[in-house]
Structure 1
Amino acid sequence: MSTQRISGANEVVDAATNSDSLPALSILIVAYNSRHFIRDCIAAIPEACADVEHEVIMIDNGDDGTAALVEELYGNVRILPSRGNIGFGSACNMLAAEARGRRLVLLNPDTIAFPGSIAALHQAAQKFPEFAAIGGASVDRTGHDPKPMLSALPRFSTVWRGMIGMTSNDMNILSDRDGSVFEVEAVNGGFCIIDAAVWRDLGGFDESFFLYGEDVDLSLRIAHLGKSIGYVPSARVFHDVGSGDFFSPASHRFKTIAAAHYANKHFSARRALAYKLVLWLHFLVRYAVGGILGFAVSRYRSISRANRPVAFNPNCWWHGFKGKGADPRRSFSSKLN
């Protein structure tokens, strides 16, 4: 398939549009200072797709030369011109506007898809059309220790359990199953397949979510259409979590901003207020407990450090992405995706 660089966000110039068939899948990659791991990500795609026709479209929100490297090494990748760090949701919407596949695959640049993994998502989507979006599992480099690469809808019970160190086992139980599709609440935008027609009907990601939360918001809107969200354990990727600091205060802050933004959008004013108050208490408890246990275990020190900004300055996240200083383009770490 012959391809070339795109000259504008709304202009499709892929020469393959003149061919007698369109790809089944459009694989969308939003890079952000991803030069060190983008090669492995793209190199793994052909085997991950097996014999499924696909195209790969990428946009670079960063400034480390990722786009130039991909253009040099992979002539079959369509690259949209960068508009700077416009946010994950906005970048995905730009990519989807250029996509020709019947289904969209969102793939983080710091993932390596295992052979047949993307094909497994595609096969499940074909077999079970009632699932408008389907996610897969994150595994270690050897393909073991699977963990569902999913998200959960924000709710009070989740915050309460997290406050006392408890998490739901529902997703981990799903990791032990294979060979089918299981209904879940929300996909993770780092690795999932979405029906392109449903995406268009919903207008894609809500761009008011600059970073984080846009996948959960989309999942809820899919559910409101009467469609289901699925999980396929056999679709597996290695996610290089080392490409960003999981306990980074900046990362935690913007995830919190996204949670507040979601609550402000989808909850009643009274419920949103209650949810954010519980969330605030959660951060205070995690900060205090992490500080105490951190004398013995360094991991807890990191947890305490990550929770300090949101615990002692709730105004930085309370109003979601509409709040002052909530724009990651002004303060976000260049390491974070």
Structure 2
Amino acid sequence: MTDELKVVTVTYSPGPHLDRFLASLAHATELPVTVIMADNGSTDGAPEDAVARYPNVTLLHTGGNLGYGTAVNRAVDAHVTDGELFIVANPDVQWGPGSIDELLAAAQRWPAAGAFGPLIRDPDGSVYPSARHQPSLIRGGMHAVVGPVWKSNPWTAAYRQERLTPSERPVGWLSGACLLLRRDAFVDVGGFDERYFMYMEDVDLGDRLERSGRQNIYVPSAEILHDKGHSTGRDPARNLAAHHRSTYTFLADRHSRWWQAPLRWTIRGALAARAGLVVRNSRRKQTKGRL
């Protein structure tokens, strides 16, 4: 185990979330920690204030809003050395006591794994389904298309593994809100795919790690709280549209043969229809909220 742990977070005007992230980090591990903030163009002063208040924080300006995965890649290239374990986490995470140490202990138990993820709780205390199967064409496609109108459909339940008791186990992918990663495994698969500006980069990473022979391990003994509405709340309609574009990129990549072109057209059309529905609903709610 390393004597110092690098924690990478991507900031984009994170507001008070960042201070809670940094303050709670002291309870998450007994190791000394260096936090690398890859800043994508914050205008609220929160990253600069954090550097002034926390001596273990380093600020890396990415030069613009490059997207989540690209910013993480830049930080890893600049600050994480070969052979290290490191954390990637959103700045709106609050760390549970010993949560990082639990992830590090799991890394000792699963030497063939490349990624480890904690149990994630929503602000209301409920468990977020952060450890999932890979989205197969049927399971993932049906979840994407019918999920907004039929919440209890069996494809969504199977994909999200909602009916399983939390247990330490290999899964298809883990939420990028918080990951412990082996740098060697991360670099070997090319890091995050920078075509994904936001959303699905964690699904894609989990898939590529698994294809390379590394496991993605869910570690529910480690717990964090995630205020996941922080980033999507600024412009939910725009972000929902981005989610659907990323979903198409992921599925089209996995079904890229020439004879699968009709399938890709069908996926594109279904996702476009779903995106139109959820974006209209989001904008309608925003309009009502202003009245």
TM-score scaled by length of structure 1: 0.72
Gaps of at least 5 residues in structure 2 are: 285-291
| Amino acid corresponding to residue 59 of structure 1 in structure 2 | A
CA offsets 1:242-283 (integer angstroms, 9 cap, x no match): 314479221111111111222333322443641451453365
The answer for the alignment partner of 2:47 in structure 1 is 67
Q: Comparing both chains, which one has the higher relative contact order based on Cα–Cα distances under 8 Å and sequence gaps of 6 or more?
A: 2
Among residues 198, 201, 210, which one is paired with 1:223 in the alignment?
Answer: 210
Q: How does 1:178-197 map to 2 (within 5 A)?
A: 178=167, 181-197=168-184
Change (3 A) 1:45 1:306: same
CA offsets 1:209-240 (integer angstroms, 9 cap, x no match): 22222222211111121111111112221111
Q: Secondary structure at the match of 1:137?
A: strand
Q: Secondary structure at the match of 1:33?
A: coil
Contact 2:86–2:183 (CA under 8 A) maintained in structure 1: yes
**Cα distance in 2 between the residues matched to 1:53 and 1:230:** 24
TM-score scaled by length of structure 2: 0.82
| Amino acid corresponding to residue 250 of structure 2 in structure 1 | Y
Among residues 158, 163, 171, which one is paired with 2:161 in the alignment?
Answer: 171
Task: Count residues in correspondence.
Answer: 270
Q: Secondary structure at the match of 2:20?
A: helix
The answer for the alignment partner of 1:211 in structure 2 is 198
Runs of 4+ aligned residues of structure 1 deviating over 3 Å after TM superposition are 21-24, 161-164, 244-247, 269-273, 282-288
Q: Point out the more displaced range, 113-122 or 271-280.
A: 271-280
The answer for the alignment partner of 2:237 in structure 1 is 249
**Cα distance in 1 between the residues matched to 2:106 and 2:162:** 20
**Cα distance in 1 between the residues matched to 2:273 and 2:197:** 25
CA offsets 1:180-219 (integer angstroms, 9 cap, x no match): x211101221111111111122221121222222222211
How big is the shift at 1:85? 0.7
| Amino acid corresponding to residue 163 of structure 2 in structure 1 | I
Contact 1:148–1:233 (CA under 8 A) maintained in structure 2: no
Contact 1:156–1:278 (CA under 8 A) maintained in structure 2: no
How big is the shift at 1:140? 3.9
How big is the shift at 1:119? 1.2
**Cα distance in 2 between the residues matched to 1:73 and 1:276:** 52
| Amino acid corresponding to residue 240 of structure 2 in structure 1 | H
The answer for the alignment partner of 1:137 in structure 2 is 119
Contact 1:283–1:307 (CA under 8 A) maintained in structure 2: no
CA offsets 1:105-130 (integer angstroms, 9 cap, x no match): 11101111111111111110111112
Among residues 110, 119, 128, which one is paired with 2:110 in the alignment?
Answer: 128
| Amino acid corresponding to residue 89 of structure 1 in structure 2 | G
Change (3 A) 1:34 1:85: same
| Amino acid corresponding to residue 216 of structure 1 in structure 2 | V
**Cα distance in 2 between the residues matched to 1:153 and 1:273:** 22
Q: How does 1:1-337 map to 2 (within 5 A)?
A: 23-49=3-29, 51-64=30-43, 65-97=45-77, 98-100=79-81, 102-141=84-123, 144-150=125-131, 152-157=133-138, 158-164=140-146, 165=150, 166=153, 167-169=156-158, 171-174=161-164, 176-178=165-167, 181-245=168-232, 248-269=236-257, 270-271=259-260, 273-278=262-267, 280-281=269-270, 284=273, 304-306=280-282
Structure ID, larger Rg: 1
Task: Give the % identical residues.
Answer: 26
Contact 1:136–1:236 (CA under 8 A) maintained in structure 2: yes
**Cα distance in 1 between the residues matched to 2:281 and 2:63:** 33
**Cα distance in 2 between the residues matched to 1:218 and 1:307:** 31
Contact 1:132–1:222 (CA under 8 A) maintained in structure 2: yes
Contact 2:87–2:179 (CA under 8 A) maintained in structure 1: yes
**Cα distance in 2 between the residues matched to 1:234 and 1:307:** 38
Contact 2:11–2:42 (CA under 8 A) maintained in structure 1: no
Q: Point out the more displaced range, 220-229 or 58-67.
A: 58-67
